[in-house]
């Protein structure tokens, strides 16, 4: 069976994502991505004429994974408070994954944010989207949208702590702090 262009593209993005996330974007060459994806260099460059375009595709894929993971964590939760806290449950599972190396967006920004306005823009859009999603959940729960910003900061701090200190319990600690903020904003249960 012949692979479609979309399937080949997805395979390239998945291979690049795994390599970039494990070792860093600048440490991985396009030839390595080609080998990992099992495509010719000609095919790789036909899909992604530049490494920056490949990085942007990886970030777009990560954004979709993030959105899907958050939606899955909150799926079926009727209590608006629990939907707000579900992000921390999602983070805890992610932090316990052996491949966890911090936030791929922060990592990309750290490597390329100063030299690639497109990458910096993609990272900013992702982070803003996350803050908007949490703010929407806060409003749905009956709180001010500023609660969403506070919870997003806790989640971002948990990601950094888990990556640098290697502490998966950062999500649990952040969830406890988030629970206090939610109770302060919405009152006791």
Question: Tokens 């009727």, residue?
Answer: 78
Q: Mean pLDDT over all residues of the chain?
A: 95
**pLDDT confidence band for 1 (50 / 70 / 90):** low
d(CA 174, CA 92) in angstroms, rounded, equals 10
Tokens of 7: 């399937």
Residues 157 and 128 reside in one and the same domain: yes
The answer on 1 and 75 residing in a single domain is: no
User: What pLDDT, in 10s, does the model give residues 99-111?
Assistant: 999 999 999 999 9
Residue that terminates a domain, selected from 16, 32, 49: 49
Evaluate if residue 6 carries a pLDDT over 90: no
Model confidence at 188: pLDDT above 80: no
Regarding whether 56 and 21 lie in a shared domain, the answer is: no
Separation of alpha carbons 60 and 178, rounded Å: 28
Average of pLDDT values for 54-77? 96
Let me know whether 4 and 82 are in one domain: no
Calpha distance 71→86 (Å, rounded): 9
Statement to judge: residues 31 and 55 lie in one domain: no
Q: Which of 51, 42, 57, 40 is nearest to 6 (CA)?
A: 57
Best CA proximity match to 181, nearest among 101, 54, 87: 87
Q: Are residues 109 and 150 in the same domain?
A: yes
Q: What are phi and psi of 30, to 5 degrees?
A: -65, -30
In the chain, the number of structural domains is 2
Task: Based on the fold, state whether residues 88 and 1 are members of the same structural domain.
Answer: no
> What does the alpha-carbon distance between residue 77 and residue 86 come to, in Å, rounded to a whole number?
9
Q: Quick one: 69 and 101 in the same domain?
A: yes
Which residues span the domain enclosing 10?
Answer: 1-49
Taking the whole predicted model, whether its pTM rises above 0.75 is answered as yes
- 74 and 124 co-located in one domain: yes
Q: What is the arithmetic mean of pLDDT over 112-119? A: 96
pLDDT(83) > 80? yes
CATH of the domain at 36: 1.10.10.60
28/106 same-domain check: no
CATH of the domain at 77: 1.10.357.10
SS3 content of the chain, % helix, strand, coil (to 5): 75, 0, 25
């Amino acid at each position: 069976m012949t692979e479609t262009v979309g399937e080949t593209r997805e395979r390239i993005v998945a291979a690049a994502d795994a390599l970039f996330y494990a070792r860093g974007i600048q440490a991985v060459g396009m030839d390595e991505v080609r080998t990992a994806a099992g495509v010719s260099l000609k095919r790789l460059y036909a899909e992604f004429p530049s490494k920056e375009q490949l990085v942007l595709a990886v970030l777009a894929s990560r954004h979709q994974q993030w959105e899907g993971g958050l939606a899955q964590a909150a799926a079926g939760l009727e209590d608006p408070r629990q939907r707000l806290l579900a992000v921390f449950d999602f983070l805890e599972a992610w932090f316990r994954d052996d491949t966890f190396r911090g936030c791929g967006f922060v990592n990309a920004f750290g490597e390329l944010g100063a030299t690639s306005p497109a990458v910096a823009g993609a990272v900013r859009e992702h982070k803003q989207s996350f803050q908007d999603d949490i703010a929407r959940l806060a409003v749905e729960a009956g709180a001010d949208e500023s609660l969403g910003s506070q919870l997003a900061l806790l989640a971002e701090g948990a990601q950094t702590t888990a990556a640098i200190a290697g502490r998966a319990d950062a999500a649990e600690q952040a969830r406890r702090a988030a629970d206090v903020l939610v109770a302060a904003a919405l009152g006791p249960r």
